[in-house]
Each structure stands twice: as C-alpha cells, then as structure tokens.
Amino acid sequence: MWITRPLTVESTTVETLAGDASIGEQIFHLGACASCHVTPGGEAMVLAGGREFLSDFGTFVAPNITPDATNGIGSWRQADFFNAMRHGTSPEGKHYFPAFPYASYTRMTDADIANLWAFLATLPTSDRPTENHRLTFPFNIRATVGVWKAFYLRSAYVQTAGDTERGRYLVEAIGHCAECHTPRTALGGLRTEKWMAGAPDPSGKGKIPGLTPAQLDWSQGDIAYYLETGFTPDFDSAGGGMVAVIAGTSKLPAEDRDAIAAYIKALPAAQ
C-alpha cells in the first residue's frame, strides 16, 4: 500500500548541508549512541555493533555504524543518513525496525542531523559484519513496519514547549528519553497519554522509573546535578542504562542540562 511505503527525503536538499563535527559530538553524546553501537567488551568509540536488545518481538542486534565502506555506513551518502534518521528507511529503500529510535530522531533539525553525520565520519572504522535480528513471526517481516509507522511515526512534539523549548528538543528528539521512560502499546508504539510515566524494562527485569511530578519530586537543580554527576539528592548514584546516559549528559553545556531539567519539571501528570 502507498500509505505504508518507505519514505525518503529530497536528496538534493540535504546533500548540500555542511555539518559541524564539533556540534555533532555533543549530539552523539546526548543520544548515547555509543551505549548501543559499541560492541560489548569492545573499544570505546568504535561503533561496530553487536549489542543485543531483548523485546517481546524477539532480539534486536545493533548494527555496525562505523565509517567502514563494506560493513559499516562508509558508503552511505548524507541523504541515506537523513532517510534513516527521519523516516527509518535504509539505503536499499526498506523499513528499519523501530528499535532504532527514529521515531524520536525524526524531530531533529536538518542542521543537527548533518552535524551528527559529520562527527560519525571522524570515528574509527571496523569491518565487523552486522548481525541479523532474531525476531518472531510476523514481526520479522519488514513490510509490517510500514503499518507501525502509519500509526506511530509522527514528527510533532508530544508536550507543549512553554518556557522549555530547548529542553523539549533535547528530550523528545536527540535524547529520545521517552523511548525508555514511556510505556508501549501491544504493537510497540509509545502510549503518549502516559508520557514519561515509567515502563517495564524490555529485558523483563524490573521497571524503568517514571519522571512525572507524581513520581519524581526532585528540584530542577537536583535533576540538572544528576545529569552532570550521576548522584541523586539522597546520595545514591545512577545505575543500569542511566550510566551511559549520564556519560553523555555530563559532557553537555550546563544550560542544556538545565533545559532538560526544566522540561522534566514541567511534565504534566500521567493520565
């Protein structure tokens, strides 16, 4: 069906954009790209893939996104990267599975996608082959992702900006925080009526905490400090997946951490 076909960007529009790798590095850290794409036990900043992600649909495996021309993304054009980030479409014109959080990245600006692309080109290469996902039927059929996109892929923001427009961009787009902190439907789409209200850990072990006012009573300063240091107001420290997140947010300018904290403090109560 035409409504579920893979979409692409206008290549002549994006190919001429010049990215700034120094800005792209900050985007890379906020998006915690290394936490997914560095091989378990592998060398830092070598995005050779191989990490497995368990889900109700099977096991997803992170791909090699190093500049290697054969097994990574070194042969891609900038337009190919835009298609992946904005539409979840591969260079071959196929749907990517939404374990790759393009449903959040689709809100990124053209400039920042170009900036991230410029930074990725500076990273070390690896010839490690990308492994196949191991998904159950019918979720292993990529054509079904077109239906998922028709229901859930939206470039519009979920929350109103208020005084936190920068924070909303960092959280809902680059940081893709809701991908973990918001519960999902049976088809894996985010339940926006329970935005940031917490969710089961996809591994089946425990729960990812909610960030709404009823669930998080930290001050804006507490949140910003946590994003810088990993320390909570009660002298605990970040654990699990948040360790990689803090490793990224600690490298941001202080005003960006404060903007993220302001967005979180402005969240409405979950329905």
The pLDDT tens digits for 208-222 are: 999 999 999 999 999
pLDDT for res 2 = 62
The mean pLDDT of 155-183, rounded to a whole number, is 93
> What average pLDDT does the structure give for the chain?
92
Percent residues over pLDDT 70 in the chain: 97
- The span from the CA of 214 to the CA of 130, in Å, is 42
Q: What is the pLDDT of residues 112-165, one digit of tens each?
A: 999 999 999 999 999 999 999 999 888 888 888 999 999 999 999 999 877 789
pLDDT for res 215 = 92
Query: What's phi and psi for 162, nearest 5 deg?
Result: 60, -130
pLDDT for res 94 = 95
What the block records as the tokens of 56 is 């109700």
- The span from the CA of 263 to the CA of 257, in Å, is 10
Where residue 240 falls among pLDDT bands split at 50, 70, 90? confident
Greater confidence (224 vs 58) lies with 224
pLDDT for res 161 = 73
Domain positions in the chain:
2-152, 165-265
pLDDT for res 271 = 59
DSSP labels for 179-247? HHHS-B-TTS-B-GGGTTS-EE-TTSSSEEPP-STTT----HHHHHHHHHH-B-TTS-B--TTHHHHHH
| pLDDT value at 39 more than 90 | yes
Q: At 218, which amino acid appears?
A: W
Cβ-based burial of 107 (10 A; exposed 0-12, middle 13-18, buried ≥19): buried
At residue 52, the 3 state secondary structure works out as strand
Angle between helices 242-249 and 220-229 (to 10 degrees): 100
Where residue 83 falls among pLDDT bands split at 50, 70, 90? very high
Q: What is the CA radius of gyration of the chain?
A: 18
Q: pTM of the predicted model, to two decimals?
A: 0.93
pLDDT for res 4 = 76
Q: What is the pLDDT of residues 51-80, one digit of tens each?
A: 999 888 889 999 999 999 999 999 999 999
Q: At 240, which amino acid appears?
A: G
pLDDT for res 235 = 85
At residue 46, the 3 state secondary structure works out as coil
| pLDDT value at 97 more than 60 | yes
Query: Which candidate, 81, 88, 87, 91, places its Cα nearest to that of 113?
Result: 81
- The span from the CA of 123 to the CA of 130, in Å, is 17
At residue 248, the 3 state secondary structure works out as helix
